[in-house]
Structure 1
Amino acid sequence: MPGRIRAQLRTDYDRGTHPVPYDPEKLFACGATDNGEYLFWISDPANAPDRWRITVNEARGPGWFTYDGNLTAFLVSVLDGQLQVPLFPPSILDAPARFTPSHPTLWKPQPPTDVQPVDTAAIRSWARANGYDVPSRGRIPLEIREAWERASHGN
């Protein structure tokens, strides 16, 4: 998403269609409101992220607002009512703040309980008896395993 947003800002910046106040290559999208405003880190200087400032792009217009502080200070100031961002709707604090994680919680599947362990020695013995060249150690080749399963399960 940040790359797509940056590309649109680059087009606006190059054409002069909207007054993008910063080089789009230095803007990194870091959030959005449910109203559609985008929050950006101004990633300058590139090697000092603790000094990056915040800028907000108006949802349905060309307006920009810049905050001379870091993202944490910006959020605290907005959410406790100390900072009024003119681009945000006046009702921004009427509903409680809600945050949506950018990545879903990782889910670790449980191993199947109905799978029986396979006796690889039996597969190797069957393979040799049926003319397959099977190594004495290591992974059993897939085609041998599939042939054994067809033979032993009648598939």
Structure 2
Amino acid sequence: MPARIRAYQRKDFDRGTHPVPYDPEQLFTIGGTDNGEHIFWITDPAQEPDRWRIAVDEARGPQWFTFDGTLADFLTSVLSGQTRVPQFPRDLLEGGPSFTPSHPVLWKPEPIQDQPPVDAAAIRAWALANGYNVPPRGRIPSEVREAWERHIS
């Protein structure tokens, strides 16, 4: 997804459609809003990530917001109400923080039933003698294996 967003930003930057204030190659998408805004790291200077700043674009317009600080500083400032990002809803903090835990479904694999080793050559010979089509090498089709097991039991 970051590559697709960067391509849109590059197109706007090159055409001047919306004034992208940064070279899109320096923008790395790190988040987004349910309204369609994107939150970016401004990756300049490239070799000093502790100095990267934050930028937020406007989903349906040309406005950009820049925060001079780290991602942690940005989140702390916005969520504490110290910084207002014009693209974010005015009532962003009115409902207070909430948390809804997910309810993951735990999957446990079925235990592998111990099966005695089989003689693949014997199964292939039996299958061919009984009208089954089996490859000369590789995996024996499950229906052939099941028929073999019914035969020997």
Q: Note whether the superposition's TM-score is higher than 0.5.
A: yes
Task: Tell me the residue number matched to 1:117.
Answer: 114
**Residue from 139, 146, 151 that aligns with 2:148:** 151
Change (3 A) 1:74 1:129: closer
Aligned to 1:72: 72
Report the residue type matching 1:150 in the other structure: A
- Judged with a 3 Å threshold, the aligned counterparts in structure 2 of structure 1 residues 60 and 97 are, in CA distance, closer, same or farther, namely farther
After superposition, the C-alpha distances for 1:96-151 in whole angstroms (9 at most, x for unaligned) are 34689xxx9997732225x531100xx2287289489xxxxxxx942288644322
Secondary structure of 1:143 counterpart: coil
Aligned length: 141
Q: CA RMSD in A?
A: 3.2
Describe the shift of the 1:125–1:45 C-alpha distance in structure 2 as closer, same or farther (beyond 3 A): closer
Q: Measure, in 1, the Cα distance between the counterparts of 2:47 and 2:103.
A: 30
Query: Which stretches in structure 2 are left out of the alignment for 5+ residues?
Result: 128-136
How high is the TM-score relative to the length of structure 1?
0.75
Tell me, yes or no, if the aligned pair for 1:29 and 1:38 is still in contact at 8 Å. yes
Distance in 1, Cα, partners of 2:143 & 2:61? 62
Contact 1:28 1:43 in 2 (8 A): yes
Gaps of 5+ in 1: 133-139
2:110 and 2:88 map into 1 onto residues whose CA distance is 50
- Conserved? CA contact 1:36–1:59, under 8 Å: yes
Code of the residue aligned with 2:140 in structure 1: it is E
Counting aligned pairs with the same residue, the percent is: 50
CA–CA separation in structure 2 for the residues paired with 1:27 and 1:127: 62
- 8 A contact 1:126–1:148 mirrored in 2: no
Relative to the length of structure 2, the TM-score reads 0.76
